[in-house]
Amino acid sequence: MYEGAVQDLIDELGRLPGVGPKSAQRIAFHLLAEDPEDVKRLVTAITEVKARVQFCTVCGNVAQQELCQVCRDPRRSPTVICVVEEPKDVVAIERTREFRGKYHVLGGAINPIAGVGPDDLRIAQLLSRLADGQVTEVILATDPNVEGEATSTYLARLLVPMGLTVTRLASGLPVGGDLEYADEVTLGRAFEGRRRISA
Amino acid sequence: MYEGAVQDLIDELGRLPGVGPKSAQRIAFHLLAEDPEDVKRLVTAITEVKARVQFCTVCGNVAQQELCQVCRDPRRSPTVICVVEEPKDVVAIERTREFRGKYHVLGGAINPIAGVGPDDLRIAQLLSRLADGQVTEVILATDPNVEGEATSTYLARLLVPMGLTVTRLASGLPVGGDLEYADEVTLGRAFEGRRRISA
């Protein structure tokens, strides 16, 4: 519909996740009208990420060196590993400031429909990190959905027989939410995981 | 939160229209994991648009030469000009295949709140196109919202005294919609603009 270069850009933008044809068109016209300096900053940012960012050889998190920030940090405890699906989960957990151990990024979750099996995840790398016996606890922090639960169940079956403490993040009512709006599965989990209040 | 290059990319993507922090993060990780060839195509598309696409010196539509596709086309009638807000409106009207005249792109609509007045639009260029008397009809095809209506009213006051036929796109019920779901303004307009059916 548009002349060559504009249509090419709309097509390329439309291939990004969450960007439909209308948004692609809107972003293309925004870039077209924008200051060349600002557009250059975007292009540089994309190019730099591809040139400089890699995945940590130990945990699979994003890194600008061989090891990521967390794996490089000597203050982080090497005895606890928190297993997550994606690098963005690392950022979400770091934001809580609750966890001072190391991470292991699986690179997804078991999902037979999408053709993702255990061999497609960084599970072998996790097992080799556990081989020297330094790690005492593995926290399974996969997403609380079907795929995440399946992945945690799979990992627990592997890790518990190894004599490790294996834990799963608590399910329950989200803080700040309304009890009446909680779905029945969440509310059921909150009952199941109820805690005694000591006086 | 992320290491340098990843955070830079998330920040740059977050400045695009309709891309919030979560989408920016999602797109950044998509680009990070994607094939370098595909990412290069996106970067090239952005760079090409900035290098090659300009605005038609006559009508203000996007163009890869001095004149846009429509202004270059000798089969398009030079006696009718359709006035629109943005280049994407040209594409929307072209898709209908109803219009065979030329366009004039204003580059926006009058919007006092956003500080856009008549002098910020390509109105002077429109008037100079009308100076030679070749144009007999101006179709006002601005958006059917407050800013678009204000712009059309402003233009009509300028153009009608010049002896031109000035028309506005019909307002009414969208085709394929349900009458009961139409808002009262649209339904009111549909009544106002009702047409006699000849046997």
The CA distance from A25 to the nearest CA of chain B, in Å, is: 8
What would the pLDDT profile of A63-103 be if each residue is shown by its tens digit? 988 999 999 999 999 999 999 999 989 988 988 888 999 99
What is the per-residue pLDDT for A19? Answer: 94
For residues B108-120, b (16+ Cβ closer than 10 Å) or e, as one string? bbbbeeeebeeee
B11, B39, B49: residue with CB nearest A31: B49
pLDDT at B96 (0 to 100): 87
Whole-number pLDDT of residue A186: 84
pLDDT band at residue A1 using 50, 70 and 90 as cut-offs: low
Residues B92 and B76: their CA atoms lie apart, in Å, by: 17
CA atoms within 13 A on the CB side of A81: 27
Residues of A in contact with B106 (CB under 8 A): none
**What is the signed CA dihedral for B112, B116, B117, B122, rounded to 10 degrees?**
-150
A14 torsion bin: left (phi>0), alpha (psi -120 to 50), beta (else): alpha
Residues of chain B contacting A23 with CB distance shorter than 8 Å: 18-19
pLDDT of residue B72: 94
Whole-number pLDDT of residue B44: 94
Domains A4-52 and A56-196 are alike in CATH topology: no
Handedness of CA A5, A11, A16, A17 (dihedral sign): positive
The more confidently predicted of residues A46 and B197 is A46
For the domain covering B56-196, report its CATH number.
3.40.1360.10
Chain B CB contacts of A48 under 8 Å are 5, 8-9
**ipTM of model over 0.90:** no
Domain edges within chain B: 4-52, 56-196
Q: What is the pLDDT of residue A189?
A: 83
According to the model, what pLDDT value does residue B26 have?
A: 92
pLDDT of A199 strictly over 70: no
Does residue B151 have a pLDDT over 90?
A: yes
CATH class, B4-52 region: mainly alpha
Average pLDDT for chain B: 90
Mean pLDDT, chain A, rounded, equals: 90
User: Measured between CB atoms, which of B5, B36, B48 is closest to A5?
Assistant: B48
Name the pTM for this structure: 0.73
Report whether pLDDT(A177) > 80.
no
